[in-house]
């Protein structure tokens, strides 16, 4: 980064009252020490539109799991969720470093939103027929819009910072060309090539920032990830609510659904509590820590959304509409719940814990998995375990204080 760019003050603070951008600004880096840095209304709108695609992937996963198509469902879900998460994450870190909130920036971000809606429209085809055309087109739209952002940053930079921006633009462009090639390949070859494409996408930030790092803001990044976690958990609650409502309307089996509904609510409430039990921005002190934390949230977001899919399957199982056993239906809830607990612990909860509190979440994840054996009552048991995990954590924290 040139000394001129580093010293240049950012033209605005992205506070809640900023609504009148100038037509065009220089896209210079924002300071990592900028005070009062919060998520903008555009970023919140971006998240809400992205969760549409999350909801689509979750519904299709629930359908495949309920039908017993575990392999196809999980493969489609992992692929679709990667595309959603990776595009979201790249925009989030770029915005933390370069958000200038001018007209070109806003328009380009809206193009990215259009891309995720195209991707969402293609998710049912992806699950039903392994037709990836529409999903890939939506993904490429999002990523090429990101290229224009990096080229704008390169135009305003000099020296090493300009090189970082150009490497990002070149790397993303090459990856999108690769996805175009994937579309032309036979279906049996795609299964081998797609993982290579995913690895190439993941490597772009590592290569681009090998010699110099962008100036992301720790408080802003922590807030952005927290907000997306909230939205995904909200989508989980909504999906479970719709499933319960539909089951009651069709079968009038409210009594059979109460344990699933109660257990699901306890899991969602506990998931929120555990994630936000401690602030995490102080842990994000270096690029290495931030990269591991940011990449690891693929599992946090993916498992949080999958809990909602599992609750839909558990509801269908309770009214005898799922084509899987009660134990398998319970596993669709307990497995993602256990994954969520252990991942949140590994990424940031463990850094603020000592003594017995250090093993609380790992022990809770094992106990949740054990609830799978309870069959029809397993979801309620898992909810009680997660609630007890939160209660013990609160008591241990009070004792420490």
Q: Would you kindly state where each structural domain of the chain is located, as residue ranges?
A: 3-208, 233-400
Q: 51-60, 171-180, 243-252, 320-329: lowest mean pLDDT where?
A: 243-252
More confident residue, 41 or 24: 41
Q: Residue 146 in contact with residue 98, Cβ under 8 Å?
A: no
Contacts of 292 (CB under 8 A, 6+ apart): 347
pLDDT category, 336, cuts 50, 70, 90? very high
Mean pLDDT, residues 252-279 taken together: 86
Q: What is the pLDDT of residue 253?
A: 60
CATH code for 233-400? Answer: 1.20.1410
Tell which residue, 274, 272, 265, has the closest CA to residue 231. Answer: 272
Residue-wise pLDDT for 189-211, tens only, equals 998 999 999 999 999 998 998 88
Distance of CA 275 to the CA centre of its chain: 13
Tell me the mean pLDDT in the region 322-329.
91
Most confidently modeled range among 30-34, 247-251, 338-342: 338-342
Ordered alpha helix ranges (H), 130-186: 133-156, 159-183
Indicate the average pLDDT of the chain. Answer: 87
17: exposed, middle or buried (C-beta count within 10 Å: 0-12, 13-18, 19+)? exposed
Q: What is the mean pLDDT of residues 275-304?
A: 84
Give the angle 87-89-93 at the CA atoms, nearest 5°.
Answer: 120
The predicted structure's pLDDT at residue 169: 96
Give the side-chain half-sphere CA count within 13 A for 30. 26
């Amino acid at each position: 980064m040139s000394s001129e760019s580093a010293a240049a003050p950012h033209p605005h603070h992205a506070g809640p009252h900023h609504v009148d951008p100038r037509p065009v600004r220089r896209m210079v880096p924002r300071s990592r020490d900028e005070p009062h840095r919060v998520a903008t209304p555009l970023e919140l709108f971006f998240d809400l539109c992205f969760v549409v695609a999350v909801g689509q992937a979750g519904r299709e996963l629930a359908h495949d799991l309920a039908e017993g198509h575990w392999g196809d469902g999980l493969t489609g879900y992992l692929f679709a969720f990667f595309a959603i998460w990776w595009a979201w994450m790249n925009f989030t870190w770029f915005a933390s470093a370069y958000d200038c909130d001018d007209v070109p920036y806003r328009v380009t971000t809206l193009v990215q939103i259009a891309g995720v809606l195209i991707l969402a429209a293609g998710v049912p085809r992806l699950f039903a027929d392994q037709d990836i055309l529409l999903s890939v087109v939506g993904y490429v739209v999002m990523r090429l819009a990101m290229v224009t952002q990096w080229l704008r940053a390169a135009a305003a930079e000099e020296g090493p910072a300009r090189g970082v921006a150009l490497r990002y633009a070149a790397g993303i462009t090459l990856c999108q060309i690769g996805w175009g090639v994937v579309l032309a390949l036979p279906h049996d070859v795609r299964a081998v090539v797609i993982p290579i494409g995913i690895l190439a996408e993941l490597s772009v930030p590592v290569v681009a920032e090998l010699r110099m790092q962008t100036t992301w803001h720790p408080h802003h990044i922590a807030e952005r990830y927290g907000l997306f976690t909230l939205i995904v958990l909200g989508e989980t609650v909504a999906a479970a609510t719709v499933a319960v409502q539909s089951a009651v309307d069709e079968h009038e089996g409210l009594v059979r659904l109460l344990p699933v509904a109660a257990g699901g609510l306890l899991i969602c409430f506990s998931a929120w509590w555990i994630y936000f039990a401690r602030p995490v921005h102080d842990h994000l002190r270096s690029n290495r820590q931030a990269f591991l934390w940011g990449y690891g949230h693929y599992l946090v977001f993916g498992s949080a959304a999958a809990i909602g899919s599992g609750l839909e399957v558990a509801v269908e199982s309770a009214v005898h509409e799922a084509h899987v056993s009660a134990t398998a239906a319970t596993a669709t809830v307990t497995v993602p719940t256990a994954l969520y607990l252990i991942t949140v612990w590994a990424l940031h909860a463990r850094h603020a814990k000592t003594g017995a509190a250090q093993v609380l979440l790992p022990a809770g994840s094992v106990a949740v998995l054990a609830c799978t054996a309870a069959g029809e009552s397993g979801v309620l048991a898992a909810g009680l375990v997660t609630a007890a995990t939160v209660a013990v954590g609160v008591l241990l924290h009070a004792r420490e204080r």
